[in-house]
Each structure stands twice: as structure tokens, then as C-alpha cells.
Amino acid sequence: MEYDMVKVEEALLALLGVFEFENGRVWKKYDFSVMDALHDKGFITQPHSAKESVVLTDEGLRLAKELAAKYFQVNAAGPEHS
């Protein structure tokens, strides 16, 4: 699947804006409260481990791919002009 990287970059920048603190400083990793919520909903494995990554559950992977397609997939008929 091909994604519109401009939209992906904008979404990531928006998320960085959500978690900004100290006048523009942001963490490079995701906020623990959000990761905990995704874990509580059964979408990812335990976020509080020594590992640097988590694994999407089957349901989490399905929903993640559905959302990625919804927000970022390049339309087969051509990119949308907004």
C-alpha cells in the first residue's frame, strides 16, 4: 500500500504538537498514557518493558492498517486536492 507521506508528516507533526511541553520541547517516543490506553484496549503488547518496541495485536494491526489507509493511502485515481 502506498501512503501520502505529506499527510503522514503532517499527522506526526500534529501529534508532536499535542505532546509539546516547555515551549516547543517534545519527546521522541510516544506518551506513556496513550501507550497504556492502547494496551488497555488490547491493541498493543506491554509498553513498559526493557524492549524498545511493542507488538500490535491482531486486532491492533487490523485497526492500525484500516486507519492508515483511511487517512494516508494514496488514492488509486490520483491524490486528492484539498
pLDDT at 6 over 70: yes
pTM: 0.79
Instruction: Report yes or no on 81 lying in a domain.
Output: no
pLDDT in tens, 11-61: 999 999 999 999 999 998 989 999 999 999 999 999 999 999 999 999 999
Range of the domain at 38: 5-72
Instruction: Report yes or no on 9 lying in a domain.
Output: yes
Secondary structure (DSSP) of 10-66: HHHHHHHHHT-BTTTB--SSPPHHHHHHHHHTTSBS-SSSSSS---B-HHHHHHHHH
The number of distinct structural domains making up the chain is: 1
